Amino acid sequence: MLSVADHATGAPGRPADRFDDLFRQLYPRLVPLAERLLGDRGEAEDLVQEVFLRLARSGQSAPDDGEPLLDRPDEVVGAWLRRVVLNLGANRLRDRRRADDRVLRAVRLDGALDPERRPTDDDSPPHALLRAEARDEVRAALTALPERQRACLLLRHAGHSYAEIAATLGIALGSVGVYLARGERAFRAAYAGDPSTTGPDSDQGTTS
């Protein structure tokens, strides 16, 4: 019986270094994407590990509409990995917001607690707080965008090509520029604190 590790390290019928090659090729590109989404390098690395873990596990079973993922072309696997990074990242952000809400409720009861403070060895608390606030502003602006616009911005500014973005989001290649143009305009407005040009209807006119 093949184990999960067998699939990840190369089992009979599959090039021994297929999984390793994919990891070496895509891990350095996925971590910045996850980091931009989550705002934390360590959490991003953990998320991408989780995504590759799922890829390794997927080698044991066929998806319900085709051959096993690891038997598919690199660009298909890459698109799958990016999609799962975005979806899992969004999940974590939602979980974090729920947790933040709970912390904020606690802070109201105990003013000495600071939910934003995540001190590191070389950061003073005020600087850490400022950085956390800036990070949260970016995240809040991104959150205000319709989902595909947000995904396009994240992918593009993490260095992915239009073809990769289209494959990841399942949209036409020609739509990528449209989503980017709208997304960047909405992001500018949201980041500047102007909600007038953002909103869930901004995706209208393209696919949704």
Considering only residues 53 through 72, tell me which ones interact with another protein, judged by CB under 8 A. 53-54, 56-71
Part in contact with another protein (CB under 8 A); list of ranges 21-29, 111-119, 121-129: 21-29
Query: CB of 113: closest distance to another protein in angstroms?
Result: 20
* Nearest Cα residue to 141 out of 194, 79, 87: 194
**Shortest separation between residue 199's beta carbon and another protein, angstroms:** 12
Token pair of 119 as six digits = 């001190």
Only segment of 32-40, 106-114, 116-124 that touches another protein (CB under 8 A): 32-40
CB 187 within 8 A of CB 152: no
Query: How far is 14 from 2, CA to CA, in rounded Å?
Result: 13
The answer to whether residues 182 and 149 touch, using CB atoms and an 8 Å cutoff, is: yes
Side-chain half-sphere exposure of 77, counting CA atoms within 13 A: 23
Contacts of another protein in 102-161 (CB under 8 A): 138, 147, 153-154, 156-159, 161
**Position of tokens 């969004």?**
90
Minimum CB distance to another protein, residue 105 (Å): 12
Q: What is the closest distance, in whole angstroms, from the C-beta atom of residue 103 to another protein in the complex? A: 14
Q: How far apart are CA 176 and CA 96, in angstroms?
A: 29
The site that binds another protein (CB under 8 A) totals a number of residues, namely: 89
The binding track of 81-100 with respect to another protein, each residue x by CB under 8 A or -, is --xx--xx--x---x--x--
